[in-house]
Each structure stands twice: as structure tokens, then as C-alpha cells.
A and B are shown apart, each in its own frame.
Chain A
């Protein structure tokens, strides 16, 4: 059976009943003219364009990628693939891939050989180490590399260079997930499992547009909704997402007010005594303070702040407060919004006081956005120490030093690892003089782009960019290193529910492009990093050796990989960590038998003040939580820093669409995905549009105190007073290439966003700004280039032609009704 998977991103239904196994359905797409019989080999991998970790096989014909298919036995997807996975692989073969290193000479990037480029990088590094010390060098990496690469980068940056400045773009995406888990459970690590979707009675999605960000897991929800004993959904989202359309109850609060809403839900839960007192007593500390903090947070109080009727808040509280199996998921609507960590922590609190943890259908998924965000976190490439070790705990640092055979003082731990936003500030000030950016595109993805471009273009800043394409960021670099990607190199990725998959090399990279791992290893060799006995600091050459080295670093830690190997992952498919020899099948859920990693001696973090970010010191934590229980951390609602006024009467939120990933470097080069959402747009509701005399397709200007963009207007059922702009669109496919043409209004959402971040997680706030909306030109029969299948659907369905992919988007779906993996 074939279907247009652009028009229908989620594919055919396979209804199933609560507690049954999700039936398999194998999705596949082969390039036009390639018959299945012509495929010479299928090479195992997992998706790289979202955090779901859906297993797939890459079809290879004559040394080239020719298609993909899902894997029916995969625990995550049962064979399904979303549109980005079905079509995204084609970007690998783009004619404009980088194939040779580039260096800047007389202001221009010119091709060179690897030896010249790498020697330039190493020479600058040595010079800076001699003159200014390790604090002058920073590394900014990705959520899309492999575990082996992050780990190697972490060792070379922290113990080789000895710098505190190493973070990932996961800072923009799911730093709050990690911080919220550390705040509540003392340690990072996803408590729940995707399998909880099979068992939940109520699924509460807080700022999580699952239909677009994790299409395959949303397919799972749709299949359950179509089956017996379906779950009831609570959707908290200011946009009319597909999740909202399928929800039992949809709340669309004013952006920036999640904290007020959650405190009201907690207030109702406690007021009605829907509290599991035995669980609270046995497994938590801080209940009294939490109860006190939310005592005045009535639904009526929150109704005013959130602009949601009090009765709906009461209903929502009843939904989450009376079910026997609550699964909550959280994503950018919380993580990128005002009071991010405080709000995400209140979701944990709701589960802790209701005892909804560690059993089928009762759990929390603090979601990830990117495919290997989890690896960035666990390997210590994201502003943490490897293996979830605590930088404030000397014995953890000593333990890490032992693994690396260096002195503890080699590893900077006098202060928390520097977060990305601070690193860019140091680069702006000049105290960071070299920035090595791998696999990410800050010139489009960071807030306030005019500032970021100026900062990256500074003469005094030496910038190395390692990527597949000449991105907006790469155009500003001093050295550009061509990288191999997924399908062209081997490594592991761990998805949002701790499932580890092996991605194997299927084809050769183009030209002279090299695996990120090989680039880091080349640098380490040139720098001749040594351990304390004079041996090489990094003793591995191959991905599998790097994986084995990481296993030693993870041993005995919460993210224990010691029971895994490349061979086991090849044979068994995805396995959830922790996985040890004693527990070779991995671990479906954490905290099935109490809280395991919050003890003062074991915890990854002693926590932070949720409102100021001030560190809790070890002594304080020990007296607060001597037995290592979960900590119920309370916080008060605080008004957002930027609120609408006369000049900027709207709130502005940025976000993503189903068809694109990050800054479109891959998805924008794939016909099926690009044509589904070819250009930026802005969403406003019908009442606001009518009031301003605007209509579908009008060219409008969105302006904030930082900058402006122009886009066509899509009139939707978004909440009144709110504008939405997708953040994917930059400039690589425009005339200028790295910024707005002729200095005019740009099309990148981040021209307008504010430089402000959550005090605890340091995640920038992309969802709470004030903006003005004005007409530039009438539509003249044109439509906004926004998909109709998703949250950007027009409020009047007949006003715009439906999004479809046509013949080129037909993919197969082989269902085996009732089949189980």
C-alpha cells in the first residue's frame, strides 16, 4: 500500500487496545526507478532528524544511497518512519556538499588540503594556550553527532585543552529537560519509556507538539485513539496543533505563563487530596514547602494570568488528578519559554505527589529535540561532566580523572562548565579568542542574529566550522572543515527514551569529507595530548574503540553502557540504558523502586535556585536531602521580562514545522520536504487579522526591539494576541547567503528574538517576546507557504490548497494487522 506521506505525515492506522503491543507497519521509500530487488545491501541506522530514534535500514545500490525502510522489530517505531526520515537521506547527495577544507585568505574562503587546514587550527590553538591559557578556547557542538564523537571531543576539550568552555546546541533545545531532571531526581536520565504510551490512561502534553516533532510516536497515539480503551489527552499549547485537535481538553495559555498554570494544577491536586501520601513520604522531600507555595494558586488566580477560563483549569486538574496512569511529556513550549526549568520541574512534582512514576503508563518524558541530544549530555559535551558526574563533588572529579589517567586538577571544575550563551558572550568580549563549531549553525539558530553575525565576524575571533554545507555560520569562519554525516560514518545515537541504536556506514562520504570523529582525532594527534604517565590521552582510532572507551567512563554511572557492544546492538537492535552485564536487556523505566541517584554522594547536581539560578551548595543539599529522595522544588510565578505594549502589542513565539529540521541545512535540500514548507510565514488568528485589515497571504512585517522579518501571513486558530514564526529559515539559499539581502528585513525568526535565558538551565527564551505586525504588500492571490496538515492549518480550510507531495512523495506502508514484533 502506498501513500503520499507529505499529505499524510503519520500514515495508515493500526488500531490497538490499551496494554496491547503496538502493531508493526513497515514504511519504506526508494528513489524513483529503484526496485526493491535492485538493492545490493541494507545497512542499519536510526533517524537523525528528530529525537525519536526510529530504526531504519539504508538501501545501497552501486555505492550510493537509494532509499530507506523501517525495521519492524524496532522497540521504538515498529517499522514506521516519518516524512523527514523517508525523504531526508537524499540531502546527503546534494551537489553543494563541502568536499574540501577551506581557509580564509585575504578575506575569502579558499580551498586547501587537510594538512594545511588542520595545522592552521593546531597552530592557533598552541599559540593561544601559550599566550592566554585554555580559557581562551571554546567548543560549540551539536545534537546530531554520534556518541563516540562527543565523548572524544569532551576528553580533548576538558583534559587535553583543559577548557571549561564546551557546550552543545542542545542548550537551545533541551538543556531544560536535563536541568529539570537534575533538579527533581538529582540526576539526568529519562524516567519514562515510549512504551508508556501503550499503557497510559491520560497523556498530558505540555508545550509538546508531538505530532510534528516526534511523528512516529504521535502515530502510536493515533493508533491508540483508534483502538479500545483509548487514552484521554490534555494539550497545553497556544497553537491549534494536531495534538490540540485530538485532545479531550486543550488549554491555550498566554505564552510565558506555564508556571502559573502548573502551580494551579498542583494547587487543585493538593486541595482535593489527590496525593499519594505513602509515595510522598517514602520518596520525596519538600512537600510542605510545595504545598505552602501553591496554597494561593487557585484556578481563578491562574485564569487571569494565563487567560484560560478557571473552569478549564479545574477540568485539567481533574483529568491529571484522578487517572490511574498518567504520562506527561514536555517540550519546547515549556523549555524555550519563560520560567522554563521551574515549569518543567512542576510537571515532575505533579508526578511525584501523585505517585505516577516508574510503572507502565505512569511516567514522565522530559523530551529531547535532536537525535543525539542525550549523548551530548551523557558524554559531557554539553556543559556537564561525562557520565553525569558532579563537578562540585571532588570524588566524582577524581573518579573521572582516574578513567582518563590525568590529575584531577587537569579537569576544570572550579566552576560549572560554561553554557553556550555565556561562551558567545565571552567571544563577544574577546576573552574567548577561538571558537570551534561542529555540526551546528548559530548564525541562524541563536537569538538576536544581528548580534551573532557581528560577533562571529570579528577579526580577533578565530572560528573553525565543521559541517556538511557552507552554512551561514561557515561563511563567517576562518577555517571550514568538510564533515561526513549519517550513513557515511559509524557511531551510536541514544534517543529520548534512552534507547541506544547503532548507525553504520553505508556509503563513502563525498570528496575529501571526513567523519567528525576522524577530525577530532587528527587534532588530538597534532596537539599530542598526553595522560599523566606520558601515554596518549586519547588512545583510540575507530568508532568501536571510542565506544569501548566510553563504556569504561560510563561504568557504574546512571547511564551505564557496559552491557552494550556494537555486536549486541547489531543483533538486538535498540537497547535502553542503563545496560550492564547483569542486566543485558537494558532498563525500560527508571525509578521503579525508589529514587536511585539523588543521594548527596551520588547526585549529578545539588540543584539550583529555580528563580535565580544560584547554586545550592553541597552542605545545604545534604541537610535538605540526606537520604537521596526526589526533591519537590517549588517556585512562584514571575511575569515575563518582555510583555506587549502600545508599540509592540503582540506576543511572538518561534518554533518548528513537521517538514524541517533545525536550520534546514538538510531538509531544505530535499524536494519533498522543501516544497511542503518552502518559505517562512507568520501565523495570526482571524480576529487579529480582521482587526488590522489583514488576510491570508498578505506580506507582513514582524518587528521587535531587536529586528524585523518579512513573511506572508497565515490566518489560523492560534490564540488571540499571539504571532508564530517558524525558526528554520536562514539565508544559505538567498542571494546574500549569510544574512538579510541588502541589509533589509530578513526572513530568519531569530532576527527578532531576545537574548534572555532561563536562569537555571541557561536555555534561551524563544517563545516570549513582544512584537508589532504591519502590512507590507497585499497577497494578490498568493498564499502563505505554510503546510495545511499541521498547526499552521488555515482557520478556513477552503481558503488555501491542501499540502500534498504528489507522486514523488509516495512511500510504501506494509501493515501486518495484529502483528507484533
Chain B
């Protein structure tokens, strides 16, 4: 298996496990928020299943993935992965900003705060374009980087 792909499998396996744990933690912490509790629990199942399937796939290729696999630290791994790592970080940061814009816009509507709503409406589309840009670049670059290592 290509090193780049192995590295990404490890990172994703870890990420899915982590997201499953986070979802469950959120579900527990907000057990009284019924919608959140139930849906988060359901979504945690998805991530757990993803992790299992990743491990199964990797095993078939001779690569052992388990929960003890240490989390790859930022920028760690083969050199060519740094760009992908940074693009992924940018994408996640932009996604976080996007959600914050959405929260602000919702709040603005609830409070009939026209100025805040206008601000969010003007800026949020650009935040979404930032996420599309990082997504496009990741799509273009990852086949080359991951298959050449």
C-alpha cells in the first residue's frame, strides 16, 4: 500500500473514532436535549461503522488499524502531505466560520436585528466559497500526493 494512503487511512480511522466518541459525549452531556441526544447517538453509530470498515479494509491490505493507533500530529508524516494537511485545516476552519455565520444569521432573524442579518448574509456566501475552494483543491491534489508517496 502507498505510504500516503496508509497515512490517510490511519488519520481517518482515528478521526472517525474520535468523532464517534465526541458525538456520544455530546449525546450524554445533553441527554435532556432529545433531538440532539438521539441523532448524535445515531450519527456516532455511523462513525463507528466507518471506523470498523476502514480497519477491515486496511487489514485486507496488511495494515493494522486499532484504537491504539496514535493520532498523527499536525503536519506529521510524509513531506508531501503537509499541503493536504494545511488545506484540510483551512477547510475545517472555514467550515467552523460558516457555522458561526449561520448561528449569527439565525440569531439576527430571531432578534429582528437587520444590521447583523445583513452582515451575515453578505459575508456567509464568501465563507462558503472558501470551503468550496479548499474542497476543490483537495480533490485535485490528493490523488497525486497520495499515490506518489
Question: Bound state CA distance, A416 and B136, in angstroms?
Answer: 10
- Interface 1/0s, chain A 119-145, versus B by CB < 8 A? 000000000000011011000000000
Stretch at the interface among A55-63, A505-513, A609-617, A700-708: A609-617
Indicate whether B145 reaches chain A with its CB closer than 8 angstroms: yes
Indicate whether B129 reaches chain A with its CB closer than 8 angstroms: yes
Indicate whether B64 reaches chain A with its CB closer than 8 angstroms: no
Nearest CB of chain A from residue B2's CB, rounded to whole Å? 8
* Known contacts A609-B129, A612-B129, A614-B129, A431 near B145 by CB under 8 Å: yes
- Interface 1/0s, chain B 36-57, versus A by CB < 8 A? 0000000000000000000000
**Which of A415, A431, A611 is in CB contact (< 8 Å) with B80?**
A431
**Which of A415, A426, A429, A431 is in CB contact (< 8 Å) with B139?**
A415
- Interface 1/0s, chain A 414-453, versus B by CB < 8 A? 1110100010001001110000000000000000000000
Question: Bound state CA distance, A426 and B140, in angstroms?
Answer: 12
Indicate whether B72 reaches chain A with its CB closer than 8 angstroms: no
Closest A residue to B147 using CB positions: A135
Contact B132 A609 (CB under 8 A): yes
* Known contacts A415-B139, A429-B80, A431-B80, A132 near B132 by CB under 8 Å: no
Question: Bound state CA distance, A609 and B80, in angstroms?
Answer: 27
Taking CB atoms, residues of chain B closer than 8 Å to A426 are 144, 148
Nearest CB of chain B from residue A164's CB, rounded to whole Å? 7
Which residues of chain A from 152 to 169 have any CB-CB distance to chain B below 8 Å in the complex? 164
Taking CB atoms, residues of chain B closer than 8 Å to A164 are 143
Taking CB atoms, residues of chain B closer than 8 Å to A430 are 148
Taking CB atoms, residues of chain A closer than 8 Å to B129 are 609, 611-612, 614
Closest B residue to A759 using CB positions: B133
Which residues of chain B from 46 to 96 have any CB-CB distance to chain A below 8 Å in the complex? 80
Which residues of chain A from 573 to 614 have any CB-CB distance to chain B below 8 Å in the complex? 609, 611-614
Indicate whether B135 reaches chain A with its CB closer than 8 angstroms: yes
Contact A612 B133 (CB under 8 A): yes
Chain B residues bordering chain A, tally (CB within 8 A): 14
- 11 example contacts (A-B, Cβ-Cβ < 8 A) are as follows A132-B147, A133-B147, A135-B144, A135-B147, A164-B143, A416-B140, A609-B129, A612-B132, A613-B133, A613-B136, A614-B135
Taking CB atoms, residues of chain A closer than 8 Å to B145 are 431
Contact B132 A431 (CB under 8 A): no
Question: Bound state CA distance, A430 and B133, in angstroms?
Answer: 25
Taking CB atoms, residues of chain A closer than 8 Å to B144 are 135, 418, 426, 431
Question: Bound state CA distance, A454 and B148, in angstroms?
Answer: 21
Contact A615 B132 (CB under 8 A): yes
Closest B residue to A429 using CB positions: B80
Nearest CB of chain B from residue A157's CB, rounded to whole Å? 15
Nearest CB of chain A from residue B137's CB, rounded to whole Å? 8
Taking CB atoms, residues of chain A closer than 8 Å to B148 are 132, 135-136, 426, 430-431
Closest B residue to A620 using CB positions: B132
Q: Which residue, of A136, A429, A430, has the highest number of chain B Cβ atoms within 10 A?
A: A429
The A interface is mostly helix, strand or loop, or mixed, namely loop
**Which of B80, B133, B143 is in CB contact (< 8 Å) with A135?**
B143
Question: Bound state CA distance, A724 and B135, in angstroms?
Answer: 38
> A residues within 8 Å of B by Cβ?
132-133, 135-136, 164, 414-416, 418, 422, 426, 429-431, 609, 611-615
Contact B133 A609 (CB under 8 A): yes
Closest B residue to A617 using CB positions: B132
Taking CB atoms, residues of chain B closer than 8 Å to A431 are 80, 144-145, 148
Given contacts A415-B139, A614-B132, A614-B135, 18 further A-B contacts (CB under 8 A): A133-B147, A135-B143, A135-B144, A135-B147, A414-B143, A418-B140, A418-B144, A422-B140, A426-B144, A429-B80, A431-B80, A431-B148, A609-B132, A612-B130, A612-B132, A613-B136, A614-B136, A615-B139
Contact B143 A614 (CB under 8 A): no
Question: Bound state CA distance, A192 and B144, in angstroms?
Answer: 38
Q: Which residue, of B132, B144, B147, B148, has the highest number of chain A Cβ atoms within 10 A?
A: B144
Which residues of chain B from 106 to 149 have any CB-CB distance to chain A below 8 Å in the complex? 129-130, 132-133, 135-136, 139-140, 143-145, 147-148
Nearest CB of chain B from residue A713's CB, rounded to whole Å? 42
Question: Bound state CA distance, A612 and B94, in angstroms?
Answer: 14
Taking CB atoms, residues of chain B closer than 8 Å to A414 are 139, 143
Contact A415 B140 (CB under 8 A): yes
Closest A residue to B142 using CB positions: A415
Nearest CB of chain B from residue A199's CB, rounded to whole Å? 41
Nearest CB of chain B from residue A126's CB, rounded to whole Å? 18
Question: Bound state CA distance, A132 and B149, in angstroms?
Answer: 9
Question: Bound state CA distance, A349 and B139, in angstroms?
Answer: 30
**Which of B80, B133, B147 is in CB contact (< 8 Å) with A614?**
B133
Nearest CB of chain B from residue A384's CB, rounded to whole Å? 15
Question: Bound state CA distance, A418 and B141, in angstroms?
Answer: 9
Question: Bound state CA distance, A89 and B21, in angstroms?
Answer: 73
Question: Bound state CA distance, A418 and B142, in angstroms?
Answer: 12
Question: Bound state CA distance, A136 and B143, in angstroms?
Answer: 11
Closest A residue to B145 using CB positions: A431
Closest A residue to B149 using CB positions: A431
Question: Bound state CA distance, A714 and B139, in angstroms?
Answer: 47
Closest A residue to B83 using CB positions: A429
Q: Which residue, of A133, A609, A611, A614, has the highest number of chain B Cβ atoms within 10 A?
A: A614
Question: Bound state CA distance, A430 and B129, in angstroms?
Answer: 31
Nearest CB of chain A from residue B122's CB, rounded to whole Å? 12
Taking CB atoms, residues of chain A closer than 8 Å to B133 are 609, 612-614
Closest A residue to B2 using CB positions: A133
Nearest CB of chain B from residue A617's CB, rounded to whole Å? 8
Nearest CB of chain B from residue A130's CB, rounded to whole Å? 14
Q: Which residue, of B133, B135, B136, B139, has the highest number of chain A Cβ atoms within 10 A?
A: B136
Taking CB atoms, residues of chain B closer than 8 Å to A136 are 148
Closest B residue to A423 using CB positions: B144
Taking CB atoms, residues of chain B closer than 8 Å to A613 are 133, 136
Nearest CB of chain B from residue A424's CB, rounded to whole Å? 13
Question: Bound state CA distance, A614 and B127, in angstroms?
Answer: 12
Closest B residue to A433 using CB positions: B148
Taking CB atoms, residues of chain A closer than 8 Å to B139 are 414-415, 615
Question: Bound state CA distance, A164 and B129, in angstroms?
Answer: 26
Question: Bound state CA distance, A235 and B15, in angstroms?
Answer: 57
Taking CB atoms, residues of chain B closer than 8 Å to A429 are 80
Nearest CB of chain B from residue A419's CB, rounded to whole Å? 9
Question: Bound state CA distance, A132 and B144, in angstroms?
Answer: 11
Contact A615 B143 (CB under 8 A): no
Taking CB atoms, residues of chain A closer than 8 Å to B135 are 614
Taking CB atoms, residues of chain A closer than 8 Å to B130 are 612
Taking CB atoms, residues of chain B closer than 8 Å to A133 are 147
Nearest CB of chain B from residue A435's CB, rounded to whole Å? 14
Taking CB atoms, residues of chain B closer than 8 Å to A615 are 132, 136, 139
Closest B residue to A414 using CB positions: B143
Question: Bound state CA distance, A611 and B136, in angstroms?
Answer: 13
Closest B residue to A164 using CB positions: B143
